[in-house]
Amino acid sequence: MNESPTVATDPKPAGAWTKILAPYRVPKTGRSIFEIAVTVLPLFAIWALAWALHAHGWWWAALPLTIPAALFLVRLFMIQHDCGHGSFFGPRQANDWVGRVIGIFTLTPYDQWRNTHAIHHATSGNLDRRGMGAIGMLTVEEYAALPPLRRLGYRLYRHPLIMFGLGPAYVFFIEQRLPVGMMRQGWRPWASTLGNGLAILAGLGGLVWLFGLAPVLIVNVVTMLLAATIGVWLFYVQHQFEGAAWARNGDWTRDQAALAGSSHYDLPQPLRWFTGNIGIHHVHHLSCRIPFYRLPRVLKEHPELSAMSRVGFWESFRCARLALWDEAAGRLVSFREARRAA
Protein backbone atom coordinates (compact mmCIF):
# COMPACT_ATOMS: atom_id res chain seq x y z
CA MET A 1 0.00 0.00 0.00
CA ASN A 2 1.31 3.43 -0.94
CA GLU A 3 1.92 5.49 2.19
CA SER A 4 2.93 8.78 0.57
CA PRO A 5 0.60 11.73 1.20
CA THR A 6 -1.50 13.01 -1.69
CA VAL A 7 -2.15 16.72 -2.04
CA ALA A 8 -5.83 17.51 -2.47
CA THR A 9 -6.74 19.07 -5.80
CA ASP A 10 -10.37 19.75 -6.68
CA PRO A 11 -11.20 20.77 -10.26
CA LYS A 12 -14.88 21.31 -9.44
CA PRO A 13 -16.25 24.86 -9.01
CA ALA A 14 -17.08 26.15 -5.56
CA GLY A 15 -20.29 24.69 -4.20
CA ALA A 16 -20.44 21.80 -6.67
CA TRP A 17 -19.87 19.18 -4.00
CA THR A 18 -22.85 20.44 -2.00
CA LYS A 19 -25.20 19.38 -4.80
CA ILE A 20 -23.32 16.16 -5.55
CA LEU A 21 -23.38 14.97 -1.94
CA ALA A 22 -26.94 16.08 -1.13
CA PRO A 23 -28.52 12.64 -1.83
CA TYR A 24 -26.29 11.01 0.79
CA ARG A 25 -27.55 13.26 3.58
CA VAL A 26 -30.79 11.39 4.24
CA PRO A 27 -30.49 9.16 7.34
CA LYS A 28 -32.24 5.80 7.57
CA THR A 29 -33.96 5.41 10.95
CA GLY A 30 -33.74 1.62 10.98
CA ARG A 31 -30.05 1.67 10.13
CA SER A 32 -29.35 4.30 12.77
CA ILE A 33 -31.10 2.25 15.47
CA PHE A 34 -29.16 -0.81 14.32
CA GLU A 35 -25.85 1.07 14.62
CA ILE A 36 -26.72 2.11 18.17
CA ALA A 37 -27.64 -1.47 19.10
CA VAL A 38 -24.45 -3.06 17.72
CA THR A 39 -22.43 -0.46 19.62
CA VAL A 40 -24.19 -0.24 22.98
CA LEU A 41 -24.99 -3.91 23.56
CA PRO A 42 -21.40 -5.18 23.12
CA LEU A 43 -20.09 -2.29 25.24
CA PHE A 44 -22.40 -3.14 28.13
CA ALA A 45 -21.68 -6.86 27.74
CA ILE A 46 -17.93 -6.27 27.96
CA TRP A 47 -18.35 -4.07 31.02
CA ALA A 48 -20.61 -6.66 32.67
CA LEU A 49 -18.05 -9.41 32.04
CA ALA A 50 -15.26 -7.21 33.39
CA TRP A 51 -17.25 -6.41 36.54
CA ALA A 52 -17.98 -10.12 37.04
CA LEU A 53 -14.32 -11.03 36.65
CA HIS A 54 -13.35 -8.37 39.16
CA ALA A 55 -15.98 -9.62 41.60
CA HIS A 56 -14.28 -13.03 41.50
CA GLY A 57 -10.90 -11.45 42.23
CA TRP A 58 -9.64 -11.65 38.65
CA TRP A 59 -8.96 -7.94 38.16
CA TRP A 60 -5.97 -8.81 35.96
CA ALA A 61 -8.39 -10.50 33.52
CA ALA A 62 -10.84 -7.59 33.68
CA LEU A 63 -8.23 -4.96 32.79
CA PRO A 64 -7.54 -6.15 29.18
CA LEU A 65 -11.26 -5.95 28.46
CA THR A 66 -11.01 -2.16 28.72
CA ILE A 67 -9.34 -2.14 25.27
CA PRO A 68 -12.32 -3.46 23.27
CA ALA A 69 -14.63 -1.48 25.57
CA ALA A 70 -12.72 1.69 24.69
CA LEU A 71 -13.13 0.99 20.98
CA PHE A 72 -16.88 0.56 21.35
CA LEU A 73 -16.99 3.75 23.45
CA VAL A 74 -15.18 5.61 20.65
CA ARG A 75 -17.84 4.34 18.25
CA LEU A 76 -20.54 5.53 20.63
CA PHE A 77 -18.96 8.98 20.59
CA MET A 78 -19.09 8.95 16.78
CA ILE A 79 -22.84 8.37 17.01
CA GLN A 80 -23.07 11.34 19.39
CA HIS A 81 -20.96 13.29 16.91
CA ASP A 82 -23.43 12.60 14.09
CA CYS A 83 -26.31 13.54 16.38
CA GLY A 84 -24.59 16.87 16.96
CA HIS A 85 -24.65 17.50 13.21
CA GLY A 86 -28.30 16.48 13.00
CA SER A 87 -27.36 13.67 10.63
CA PHE A 88 -28.16 10.49 12.55
CA PHE A 89 -31.94 10.85 12.68
CA GLY A 90 -34.38 12.96 10.72
CA PRO A 91 -36.06 14.81 13.62
CA ARG A 92 -33.81 17.21 15.47
CA GLN A 93 -35.22 16.24 18.86
CA ALA A 94 -34.30 12.60 18.27
CA ASN A 95 -30.71 13.62 17.50
CA ASP A 96 -30.52 15.91 20.51
CA TRP A 97 -31.87 13.53 23.12
CA VAL A 98 -29.90 10.54 21.89
CA GLY A 99 -26.81 12.77 21.88
CA ARG A 100 -27.46 13.96 25.43
CA VAL A 101 -27.87 10.42 26.76
CA ILE A 102 -24.70 9.25 25.01
CA GLY A 103 -22.89 12.24 26.51
CA ILE A 104 -23.28 10.67 29.96
CA PHE A 105 -21.15 7.72 28.83
CA THR A 106 -18.63 9.77 26.82
CA LEU A 107 -18.31 12.51 29.50
CA THR A 108 -19.20 15.04 26.82
CA PRO A 109 -21.86 17.73 27.44
CA TYR A 110 -23.79 17.41 24.21
CA ASP A 111 -25.21 20.90 23.67
CA GLN A 112 -21.99 22.65 24.65
CA TRP A 113 -19.90 20.36 22.46
CA ARG A 114 -22.31 20.73 19.53
CA ASN A 115 -21.88 24.52 19.59
CA THR A 116 -18.08 24.49 19.81
CA HIS A 117 -17.87 21.77 17.15
CA ALA A 118 -20.00 23.86 14.80
CA ILE A 119 -17.47 26.67 15.25
CA HIS A 120 -14.70 24.21 14.40
CA HIS A 121 -16.43 23.31 11.12
CA ALA A 122 -16.94 26.97 10.25
CA THR A 123 -13.31 27.90 10.89
CA SER A 124 -11.30 24.76 10.12
CA GLY A 125 -8.16 25.53 8.13
CA ASN A 126 -8.51 29.29 8.61
CA LEU A 127 -5.38 30.84 10.13
CA ASP A 128 -7.25 34.00 11.07
CA ARG A 129 -9.98 32.13 12.98
CA ARG A 130 -8.07 29.54 15.00
CA GLY A 131 -9.28 28.71 18.46
CA MET A 132 -12.47 27.16 19.74
CA GLY A 133 -13.09 23.50 19.05
CA ALA A 134 -9.63 22.85 17.62
CA ILE A 135 -6.13 21.87 18.68
CA GLY A 136 -4.04 24.98 19.32
CA MET A 137 -1.46 25.71 16.65
CA LEU A 138 0.98 28.60 16.11
CA THR A 139 2.78 29.77 13.00
CA VAL A 140 6.57 29.76 12.96
CA GLU A 141 6.58 33.57 13.25
CA GLU A 142 4.12 33.60 16.15
CA TYR A 143 6.16 31.01 18.01
CA ALA A 144 9.41 32.92 17.46
CA ALA A 145 7.81 36.11 18.80
CA LEU A 146 6.84 34.51 22.12
CA PRO A 147 8.88 35.12 25.28
CA PRO A 148 10.95 32.08 26.39
CA LEU A 149 8.51 30.92 29.08
CA ARG A 150 5.54 30.88 26.70
CA ARG A 151 7.60 29.12 24.04
CA LEU A 152 8.36 26.45 26.62
CA GLY A 153 4.66 26.19 27.43
CA TYR A 154 3.75 25.70 23.77
CA ARG A 155 6.47 23.08 23.31
CA LEU A 156 5.14 21.17 26.30
CA TYR A 157 1.56 21.47 25.01
CA ARG A 158 2.57 20.02 21.63
CA HIS A 159 4.76 17.26 23.08
CA PRO A 160 3.23 13.84 22.30
CA LEU A 161 3.35 12.77 25.95
CA ILE A 162 1.24 15.79 26.89
CA MET A 163 -0.94 15.92 23.77
CA PHE A 164 -1.85 12.23 23.81
CA GLY A 165 -1.02 11.35 27.42
CA LEU A 166 -2.20 13.96 29.90
CA GLY A 167 -4.21 15.98 27.38
CA PRO A 168 -7.12 13.57 26.82
CA ALA A 169 -7.63 13.09 30.57
CA TYR A 170 -7.60 16.86 31.10
CA VAL A 171 -10.10 17.53 28.29
CA PHE A 172 -12.67 14.89 29.24
CA PHE A 173 -12.32 14.86 33.03
CA ILE A 174 -11.67 18.55 33.72
CA GLU A 175 -12.15 20.95 30.79
CA GLN A 176 -15.54 19.60 29.76
CA ARG A 177 -16.90 20.09 33.27
CA LEU A 178 -17.12 23.82 32.46
CA PRO A 179 -18.42 25.65 29.34
CA VAL A 180 -14.91 26.75 28.37
CA GLY A 181 -15.07 29.52 25.76
CA MET A 182 -18.79 30.14 26.30
CA MET A 183 -19.02 31.11 29.96
CA ARG A 184 -20.53 34.51 29.13
CA GLN A 185 -23.11 33.29 26.62
CA GLY A 186 -26.05 32.82 28.94
CA TRP A 187 -27.39 29.87 30.87
CA ARG A 188 -27.51 27.27 28.09
CA PRO A 189 -23.80 26.35 28.06
CA TRP A 190 -23.89 26.09 31.86
CA ALA A 191 -27.03 23.96 31.77
CA SER A 192 -25.39 21.59 29.30
CA THR A 193 -22.13 21.13 31.18
CA LEU A 194 -23.59 21.07 34.69
CA GLY A 195 -26.46 18.80 33.67
CA ASN A 196 -24.02 16.41 32.04
CA GLY A 197 -21.79 16.50 35.12
CA LEU A 198 -24.65 15.73 37.50
CA ALA A 199 -25.83 12.84 35.31
CA ILE A 200 -22.29 11.44 35.25
CA LEU A 201 -22.01 11.69 39.04
CA ALA A 202 -25.35 9.92 39.45
CA GLY A 203 -24.29 7.17 37.07
CA LEU A 204 -20.91 6.68 38.71
CA GLY A 205 -22.52 6.73 42.13
CA GLY A 206 -24.90 3.98 41.07
CA LEU A 207 -22.06 1.86 39.68
CA VAL A 208 -20.00 2.29 42.85
CA TRP A 209 -23.02 1.33 44.97
CA LEU A 210 -23.62 -1.79 42.87
CA PHE A 211 -20.07 -2.98 42.20
CA GLY A 212 -17.73 -1.00 44.48
CA LEU A 213 -15.16 1.68 43.83
CA ALA A 214 -12.30 -0.55 42.60
CA PRO A 215 -14.20 -2.13 39.66
CA VAL A 216 -15.39 1.30 38.49
CA LEU A 217 -11.85 2.68 38.60
CA ILE A 218 -10.32 -0.34 36.88
CA VAL A 219 -13.03 -0.93 34.28
CA ASN A 220 -14.91 2.29 33.55
CA VAL A 221 -12.29 4.96 34.22
CA VAL A 222 -9.56 3.07 32.35
CA THR A 223 -11.98 2.52 29.44
CA MET A 224 -12.67 6.25 29.31
CA LEU A 225 -8.97 7.15 29.42
CA LEU A 226 -8.19 4.81 26.53
CA ALA A 227 -11.16 6.04 24.50
CA ALA A 228 -10.24 9.69 25.16
CA THR A 229 -6.68 9.09 23.95
CA ILE A 230 -7.92 7.42 20.77
CA GLY A 231 -10.37 10.26 20.20
CA VAL A 232 -7.76 13.00 20.60
CA TRP A 233 -5.38 11.14 18.28
CA LEU A 234 -8.07 10.83 15.59
CA PHE A 235 -8.94 14.52 15.84
CA TYR A 236 -5.26 15.43 15.65
CA VAL A 237 -4.51 13.40 12.50
CA GLN A 238 -7.66 14.69 10.84
CA HIS A 239 -6.23 18.22 10.71
CA GLN A 240 -2.51 18.04 11.56
CA PHE A 241 -0.93 16.01 8.78
CA GLU A 242 1.71 16.38 6.10
CA GLY A 243 0.12 18.09 3.13
CA ALA A 244 -2.55 19.85 5.18
CA ALA A 245 -3.51 23.29 3.89
CA TRP A 246 -4.25 26.38 5.94
CA ALA A 247 -5.13 29.82 4.59
CA ARG A 248 -5.84 33.37 5.65
CA ASN A 249 -9.33 34.87 5.42
CA GLY A 250 -8.89 36.21 1.89
CA ASP A 251 -7.83 32.86 0.46
CA TRP A 252 -9.98 30.55 2.60
CA THR A 253 -12.88 28.68 1.02
CA ARG A 254 -15.04 26.04 2.67
CA ASP A 255 -14.62 23.31 0.05
CA GLN A 256 -10.88 23.74 -0.26
CA ALA A 257 -10.51 23.78 3.53
CA ALA A 258 -12.48 20.52 3.68
CA LEU A 259 -10.57 18.71 0.94
CA ALA A 260 -7.08 20.02 1.66
CA GLY A 261 -7.33 20.83 5.36
CA SER A 262 -9.03 17.63 6.52
CA SER A 263 -7.44 14.25 5.99
CA HIS A 264 -8.69 10.99 4.56
CA TYR A 265 -7.27 8.87 7.38
CA ASP A 266 -7.26 5.53 5.58
CA LEU A 267 -7.62 3.16 8.51
CA PRO A 268 -7.68 -0.63 8.10
CA GLN A 269 -10.66 -2.67 9.17
CA PRO A 270 -11.87 -3.16 11.87
CA LEU A 271 -10.53 0.23 13.04
CA ARG A 272 -12.57 1.93 10.34
CA TRP A 273 -15.72 0.37 11.77
CA PHE A 274 -14.88 1.16 15.40
CA THR A 275 -14.15 4.80 14.53
CA GLY A 276 -17.41 5.26 12.64
CA ASN A 277 -15.65 6.06 9.34
CA ILE A 278 -14.52 9.36 10.85
CA GLY A 279 -11.27 8.92 8.93
CA ILE A 280 -13.19 9.95 5.80
CA HIS A 281 -12.97 13.35 7.35
CA HIS A 282 -12.54 15.45 4.21
CA VAL A 283 -15.92 14.24 2.96
CA HIS A 284 -17.42 14.84 6.40
CA HIS A 285 -16.26 18.46 6.24
CA LEU A 286 -17.64 18.81 2.73
CA SER A 287 -21.07 17.70 3.97
CA CYS A 288 -21.38 17.16 7.71
CA ARG A 289 -25.01 16.03 7.41
CA ILE A 290 -24.02 12.68 5.88
CA PRO A 291 -24.46 9.84 8.43
CA PHE A 292 -21.20 8.03 9.07
CA TYR A 293 -22.54 4.75 7.69
CA ARG A 294 -23.02 6.37 4.26
CA LEU A 295 -19.52 7.84 3.94
CA PRO A 296 -17.94 4.68 2.43
CA ARG A 297 -20.54 4.76 -0.32
CA VAL A 298 -19.49 8.32 -1.16
CA LEU A 299 -15.91 7.15 -1.74
CA LYS A 300 -17.09 4.16 -3.74
CA GLU A 301 -19.23 6.25 -6.07
CA HIS A 302 -16.79 9.19 -6.23
CA PRO A 303 -13.34 7.52 -6.29
CA GLU A 304 -11.59 10.82 -7.01
CA LEU A 305 -12.18 11.70 -3.36
CA SER A 306 -10.37 8.61 -2.09
CA ALA A 307 -6.86 9.81 -2.94
CA MET A 308 -7.35 13.39 -1.74
CA SER A 309 -5.45 14.23 1.47
CA ARG A 310 -4.96 10.56 2.14
CA VAL A 311 -2.94 9.59 5.24
CA GLY A 312 -2.08 5.91 5.72
CA PHE A 313 -2.20 4.21 9.11
CA TRP A 314 1.56 3.74 9.60
CA GLU A 315 2.35 7.06 7.97
CA SER A 316 0.07 8.85 10.45
CA PHE A 317 2.44 8.34 13.37
CA ARG A 318 4.88 10.75 11.73
CA CYS A 319 2.26 13.47 12.15
CA ALA A 320 2.95 13.63 15.91
CA ARG A 321 6.13 15.64 15.30
CA LEU A 322 4.30 18.43 13.42
CA ALA A 323 3.84 21.51 15.59
CA LEU A 324 4.03 24.78 13.62
CA TRP A 325 2.62 26.24 10.42
CA ASP A 326 5.29 27.65 8.11
CA GLU A 327 3.49 30.33 6.09
CA ALA A 328 6.43 30.85 3.75
CA ALA A 329 6.61 27.15 2.85
CA GLY A 330 2.87 26.57 3.14
CA ARG A 331 3.15 23.45 5.25
CA LEU A 332 3.25 22.10 8.79
CA VAL A 333 6.73 21.62 10.22
CA SER A 334 8.36 20.25 13.35
CA PHE A 335 10.23 22.36 15.88
CA ARG A 336 13.48 20.99 14.48
CA GLU A 337 12.58 21.93 10.91
CA ALA A 338 11.60 25.42 12.04
CA ARG A 339 14.89 25.81 13.86
CA ARG A 340 16.89 24.69 10.84
CA ALA A 341 15.00 27.08 8.57
CA ALA A 342 15.68 29.95 10.95
pLDDT tens digits for 51-79?
999 999 999 999 999 999 999 999 999 99
On whether residue 111 sits in a domain, the answer given is: yes
On whether residue 16 sits in a domain, the answer given is: no
On whether residue 159 sits in a domain, the answer given is: yes
User: Is residue 342's pLDDT more than 80?
Assistant: no
pLDDT score, position 2: 42
Measured distance CA(264)–CA(238) in Å, rounded = 7
pLDDT score, position 181: 81
Tell me how many domains the chain contains: 1
On whether residue 294 sits in a domain, the answer given is: yes
Q: Write the DSSP assignment of 208-275 as a string of letters.
A: HHHH-HHHIIIIIIHHHHHHHHHHHHHHHHHHSSTT---B-GGG--HHHHHHHHS-EEEPPTTHHHHT
On whether residue 37 sits in a domain, the answer given is: yes
- Between 53 and 341, the more confident residue is 53
pLDDT score, position 3: 47
User: Is residue 4's pLDDT more than 70?
Assistant: no
On whether residue 18 sits in a domain, the answer given is: no
Mean pLDDT estimate for the chain: 93
User: Is residue 185's pLDDT more than 90?
Assistant: no
Do β-strands 331-333 and 324-326 pair in parallel, antiparallel, or remain unpaired?
antiparallel
Residue 267: domain span:
24-341
pLDDT score, position 341: 84
On whether residue 253 sits in a domain, the answer given is: yes
Q: What is the mean pLDDT of residues 230-259?
A: 94
- Check if the beta carbon of residue 231 is closer than 8 Å to that of residue 74: yes
Q: What is the mean pLDDT of residues 174-196?
A: 91
On whether residue 271 sits in a domain, the answer given is: yes
pLDDT score, position 88: 98
